[in-house]
Structures are given as C-alpha cells and as structure tokens.
Amino acid sequence: MEVLGIDIGGSGIKGAIVNTDTGKLTSERHRIPTPKPATPDAVAETIKEMIDFFDWKGSVGCGFPTPLQHGRCQSGGNLHKTWKDVQVDTLFLNKTGNRFSIVNDADAAGLAEIHFGTGKGFDGTVIMITLGTGIGSGLFLDGKLLPNTEFGHVMNKQGGMGKTFTQIF
C-alpha cells in the first residue's frame, strides 16, 4: 500500500509517497518552506499545496512537531501558539479532502526504525532522538510506542538578546 507521507518541521514541510510494506519512498521527496508565521491556516494551505503537487487522492500520514492526543495539538511547539487545542487531522481533512493520520514527528521517526530499521525485532527500550528546529524524542518498550515523551524542547525567546534555551521535562 502507498500513502503520502508528510513531515511538518519548523523550517520546511517535506513530502513523498511511501510504500508502507517496505518503508521505501516511491517518489522523489518534495520540500516547501514552512510559512512564517506558521499558523494553523497557513500550514493547512501549505499542506494543500503539497497534496496538489503530488495530485494525491488517498490517505496521508503526517509527522507533526508537537505532542498530540487523538489528532489534537497539545501545544504550539516551534510553530505558533495558536496551534494549541487544534484538531489537526480535521483541519487538514477540511482543507484537502484527504484523510490524515497525525502523529508526533519523533514518534513517527521511531516507528519507522522499529518497523524497518535497527529497532526491528528488538526487545527492550529504544529511544529515538531527532534534532532539527527543535529536539524531539520517541520512546519504545518492546516495540510498543509510549507516545509524546518530549524529553526535550527548544524554544526561542524573542526580543532582548534573542536567547535560545532548552527545557527538559
């Protein structure tokens, strides 16, 4: 089976068609800069642009850079504060007409490793750390995801000296 996989990041939104049986890309990857500001409406418009680029009619799997609860955003993360409490899967469905499966981006990366990479068949604890605009983490025990661990999160302070600091939860 093939799905369109989309990764929403702080600086870019990437997409490609993925074979879910092998984990391999069956298309070239396409990147669109993340809109600034990255409000829900602006990102939804960019997601529509990605769907249109691939002329995609099927389901979409989407890695999203914040903790989620049943497709609902728990914080704005590195995107925009207005994401808090947005039902992301419904927002994207209404914008594109495509069904979306939304998961935390680091959890998605970890799931790929558990199913197709070095974590395949591994019993015990596996931790995925992603480094990008933010720091993400995915935690697995005996191949089962413990979602939204968010071990670390980089937040940018605006104004003053524009310091960056790290929060560890």
Please check whether residues 7 and 37 belong to one and the same domain. Answer: yes
Please check whether residues 67 and 16 belong to one and the same domain. Answer: yes
Residue type for position 25? L
Of 71-75, 100-104, 134-138, least confident by mean pLDDT is: 134-138
pLDDT tops 60 at residue 36: yes
Q: Is the separation of the CB atoms in 37 and 80 below 8 Å?
A: yes
Query: Is 61 domain-assigned?
Result: yes
Mean of all residue pLDDT scores within the chain: 87
Please check whether residues 86 and 148 belong to one and the same domain. Answer: no
The total number of structural domains in the chain stands at: 2
Tens digit of each residue's pLDDT (9 = 90 or more) over 108-155: 999 999 999 988 988 899 888 888 777 888 899 999 999 888 776 545
Q: Is the separation of the CB atoms in 103 and 64 below 8 Å?
A: yes
According to the model, what pLDDT value does residue 23 have?
A: 92
Which value, in Å, is the radius of gyration of the alpha carbons in the chain?
A: 16
65: CATH = 3.30.420.40
Query: Model-level pTM?
Result: 0.84
Domain extent for 52: 2-106
According to the model, what pLDDT value does residue 162 have?
A: 37
Please check whether residues 16 and 86 belong to one and the same domain. Answer: yes
Compute the distance between CA of residue 36 and CA of residue 16 in angstroms, rounded to an integer.
Answer: 22
Per-residue tokens: 140 = 């697995």
Residue type for position 114? I
Please check whether residues 39 and 76 belong to one and the same domain. Answer: yes
